[in-house]
Structure 1
Amino acid sequence: MLVLVGVLLIAGNLRAPITGIAPLLDLIQTDLSLSSTQAGLLTAMPLFIFAVISLLAAGMARVVGLSRSLFIASVLIAAGVVLRILGGVGELFAGIGLLAVGIALGNVLLPSLVKRHFPMRISLVTSLYVLFMGLVAAFNSALAVPMAEWTGQSWRWSSLIVVGIMALASVAVWATQLGADRRAAQDAPALSASGAPVWRLPLAWYITLYMGLNSLAYYMVASWLPVMLVSYGFEPDHAGQIHGLMQLASAVPALLLMPLLSRLHDQRVVALAGAVLQTLTFVGFLVLPSWSSLWAVLFGFGSGSVFLIALSLIGVRSTSTSQAASLSGMAQCMGYLLAAFGPPAMGGLHDMFNGWGWALGLCILVSFGMAYAGWLAARPAVPRTF
């Protein structure tokens, strides 16, 4: 039971500390005199870190141990959450860098922990932690602006309250598990040499691009949605609540789609549907911004669907456990690297054209590429997929 609590606490720290910045972006920019491009880097920098750490996390678990690695991840997240509110721009970026390393470790290693401790309930526990991840992120985003108002327009205290408590609780739970898994090094997944050839296979790149372009679209929207909505006339607290709804909607497919995907031989329709849904929401934000609550919910559902479909494709198209680990590492590394360019690009386009039209146009192009990659990646499997 304590391990399950630890899984949920780690999951609660994997999204909220980064996406919770968006509703507070105006306050942060005003306080620290950041440009839109610099503000975009607050989300882009963690994505570069995710890309690097995703290739190193499994090796760390082999050397240090899985439980100890997750304890270290919790400590880094907690330290980063505190450091980023202590001073100026330097402390802000240093703190985000620390918590990004911790989040990357958790992202890569948490599925291994679930497989080890809950081998007969992997889908259930995975759905639970994905749902909890979305709930915490949604709760944090929805309360960010009200908490800032309660603390005298202080983005610092607002960004600390929810994620700080969650991070400290995770440290406390994982501190009790430091000696629990003596065989963590042997059981932790690794990107072995046998999986390296996936980098040369077209199908692996289709899956990687499908996941990566979805991450690119998600982080562009997650980074700038509240600011965009305020420019459309929404109150800041309402914009934060819509941002929270979007993240909550992204967790719903974890409960609805996972049973369906396992029964489908041809996944092209569902793979295409998630990308098309995102395209429609970008058009909606552009031509009918007064309906932004609906577009945000539909975008979250579409993005969450694509994420789950991509995870399913990694399993279905792989021929062995080691190949699945290699493909997963490739998709996360390249996906986050690609996504890292999104927030500053969207902020730069906004600054250049003084509006959101061109930025949303970029999102539409990304969704077209996502749809094409998903269609190719989800074609019916043949006897030898790779």
Structure 2
Amino acid sequence: MSTSALPRRGVLTLVALLLVALNLRPALTSVSPVLASLAEALSLSPTAQGVLTTLPVLFLGLAAPLAPRLVRRFGPERAVFAAIALLAVTLAVRPYLIIPGLDLPGIANLGLFVTTAIAGGCIGVTGVLLPGIVKRDFPHRVSVMTGLYTVALNLGASAAAGTTEPLRQVFAGVVDTPWQPALAFWLLPAVIAALFWLPQLKGTAAVRVAARHGARLRDDPLAWQVSLFMGLQSALAYSVFGWLPTILRDRGLDAVTAGLALSVSILLQVSTAILAPWIGSRMRDQRTVIVVVVSMTLTGLLGCLFAPISTVWVWAVVLGLGQGGTFSMALTLLALRAPDAVTAANLSAMAQGIGYTLAALGPLLVGLLHDWSDDWNAVGVLLAAIALCAIGAGLGAGRDRQVASSLGDA
């Protein structure tokens, strides 16, 4: 059955796609606002906190190679549904597999770490599949759909970052461990997304992810540049998701305000998530846009780390505008550098698999450096180095070329 014969371009499909995208960050950004409470309740060291913020990002990358296999076996729609359904179950049980007060803290906290890793894997599989579906079903509206997809993703991230700590405070008068229902709350949007995705299972036209073609991509320098840009900008993003509230609390903000700063920063990504791909897709290449948005990200990060705390909202705004552009451009490159849905799906699997595995080092190194130095100076140097490397990779990935041409495909 041809793709054009399937009812995938209607309003219901668009809504289902955006609801799925809405769930690709809350499992991550809901943890950082209550990280201090978790650390106190569970006796987590800064290194352990770094591992906790790193695990979901690492499994974003480790799970990405599973996506092509799931597509070949079940089709992309069923694979997305399975991943979102498992994510909902994982978010439901994650807080309650923790046993506060147990004499063996490593065992007490094991459920938290394992389920956080599983959540990252579910998100990784879904994130690989959606760009190929967008390329297939909206081939002439890739930049617009990428922008909308990124907006939904940012809204989910922002909502979780800004409301998890207030939820914890609301539940504080009801239960003894209020961070548990505050974290479990985020299973609700995953359940809703799974229900809206169900109609997509009635007919599936698979985005075929050919193993041979995917393997050949690994010999292509442009594919590696796209992958490195994806990974390096993600290392910055997940360092922010995992550590910005802690950084701002150390600098004097209270927990709610620190979480709100992260939420506002993520929410502001919505504007550049739409604008950057729109501008970039209309330029001869995307290098200028990439340099601008990564530079804004670095400026905002350094401002949050070192500028007077009274100016934190200025830097949170700059950071959000920069990161909205960097992530949406990374997604846009997956489509622009690929001539068709097959190549886009393969490039997505490679870029997100390699990229997110690399990105996992970001929040982990932040935790290790902070634990070692007991301040944020070395962290600032690390984040600056990552941003400069991202600009270098972006200058290669942003050129007006396609991976199929590099491979000599017709």
| TM-score (norm: length of structure 1) | 0.91
- The unaligned stretches of length 5 or more in structure 1 are none
Q: Does residue 49 of the first structure (1) align with residue 59 of the second (2)?
A: yes
CA distance in structure 2 between the aligned counterparts of 1:311 and 1:67, rounded to whole angstroms: 19
Structural RMSD (CA): 2.2
Amino acid in the other structure paired with 1:173? F
| TM-score (norm: length of structure 2) | 0.86
CA distance in structure 1 between the aligned counterparts of 2:288 and 2:139, rounded to whole angstroms: 30
Q: Report the counterpart of residue 38 of structure 2 in structure 1.
A: 28
- Which of residues 293, 302, 320 is equivalent to 1:300? 320
Q: How far off is 1:345 after superposition?
A: 1.0
Q: Does residue 210 of the first structure (1) align with residue 234 of the second (2)?
A: no
Asked if the contact 2:76/2:207 (under 8 Å) is kept, the reply is yes
Q: How far off is 1:191 after superposition?
A: 4.3
Q: How far off is 1:327 after superposition?
A: 2.5
Q: Report the counterpart of residue 188 of structure 2 in structure 1.
A: 165
CA distance in structure 2 between the aligned counterparts of 1:311 and 1:381, rounded to whole angstroms: 16
CA distance in structure 1 between the aligned counterparts of 2:16 and 2:195, rounded to whole angstroms: 9
- The unaligned stretches of length 5 or more in structure 2 are 1-10, 99-108
CA gap of 1:44–1:198, structure 2 versus 1, over 3 A, is: same
Structure 1 residue runs of 4 or more that deviate by more than 6 Å after TM superposition: none
Q: How far off is 1:107 after superposition?
A: 0.8
Query: Percent identity of the aligned residues?
Result: 33
Q: Report the counterpart of residue 276 of structure 1 in structure 2.
A: 295
CA gap of 1:324–1:121, structure 2 versus 1, over 3 A, is: closer
- The number of equivalent residue pairs is 381
- Which of residues 134, 143, 147 is equivalent to 1:114? 134
Comparing 29-38 with 277-286, greater Cα deviation is found at: 277-286
Report Cα offsets for 1:44-93 as digits up to 9, x if no partner: 11222211221111221221233322221121111110111113212212
SS of 2:65 mapped into structure 1: helix
CA distance in structure 1 between the aligned counterparts of 2:137 and 2:344, rounded to whole angstroms: 19
SS of 1:84 mapped into structure 2: helix
CA distance in structure 2 between the aligned counterparts of 1:261 and 1:30, rounded to whole angstroms: 45
CA distance in structure 2 between the aligned counterparts of 1:193 and 1:41, rounded to whole angstroms: 35
Q: How far off is 1:378 after superposition?
A: 2.3
Q: How far off is 1:155 after superposition?
A: 1.2
Q: How far off is 1:283 after superposition?
A: 2.6
CA distance in structure 2 between the aligned counterparts of 1:371 and 1:379, rounded to whole angstroms: 13
Q: How far off is 1:336 after superposition?
A: 0.4
Asked if the contact 2:68/2:349 (under 8 Å) is kept, the reply is no
Q: How far off is 1:116 after superposition?
A: 4.6
CA distance in structure 1 between the aligned counterparts of 2:359 and 2:137, rounded to whole angstroms: 31
Amino acid in the other structure paired with 1:5? V
- Which of residues 339, 342, 345 is equivalent to 2:359? 339
CA distance in structure 1 between the aligned counterparts of 2:308 and 2:27, rounded to whole angstroms: 27
- Which of residues 324, 330, 345 is equivalent to 1:310? 330
Q: How far off is 1:381 after superposition?
A: 4.2
